[in-house]
Amino acid sequence: DVKVTQSSRYLVKRTGEKVFLECVQDMDHENMFWYRQDPGLGLRLIYFSYDVKMKEKGDIPEGYSVSREKKERFSLILESASTNQTSMYLCASSFLKLDRADTQYFGPGTRLTVL
C-alpha cells in the first residue's frame, strides 16, 4: 500500500513565523504535490515536483515555497505566515509521468491555524 505521511495533523503558528510542512512517501514516486483545501473551493494546487530538486508552480504559489532534496520528501514552506494561510494542507504523490490515468495518493493532511 502507498503510504504518504505528513509531519503534523494540527499546527498553530503566529503571524510572521516561518512554517515548514513536511511530507514523506514510501513508494518511490516521482511526482509530489502540495494542495490547499478551503471550504467551497475544493483543492487548489500550490506547487508540485516531478523530480528531485525540480519544482513547478501550481495555481496559488504566492506566499509559499517548496523544497525537494530527496525523492521521498517534499516540504512546503511558508516564509512569513499570514492569517489567510489558515487552511488544510494536503500532500500527494504519484508514480507515472504525464499519464492521464496516473492516480495521486494523499496524506492525512495538516490543519494549519495562523493566529
Q: Which residues bind another protein (CB under 8 A)?
A: 9, 31, 33, 35, 40-45, 48, 50, 56, 58, 88, 90, 92, 97-98, 100-109, 111
Q: Which is nearer to another protein, 9 or 14 (CB)?
A: 9
Choose among 74, 77, 104: nearest CA to 5: 74
Check: CB of residue 100 under 8 Å from CB of residue 38: no
Select 4 or 78, whichever has its Cβ closest to another protein.
4
Closest separation between CB of residue 32 and another protein, Å? 10
**Least Å from the CB of residue 16 to another protein:** 27
> In this structure, what C-alpha cell is assigned to residue 29?
514516486
- Gap between the Cα atoms of 112 and 92, Å rounded: 17
Minimum Å gap between C-beta 79 and another protein is 23
All cell numbers assigned to 17:
513565523
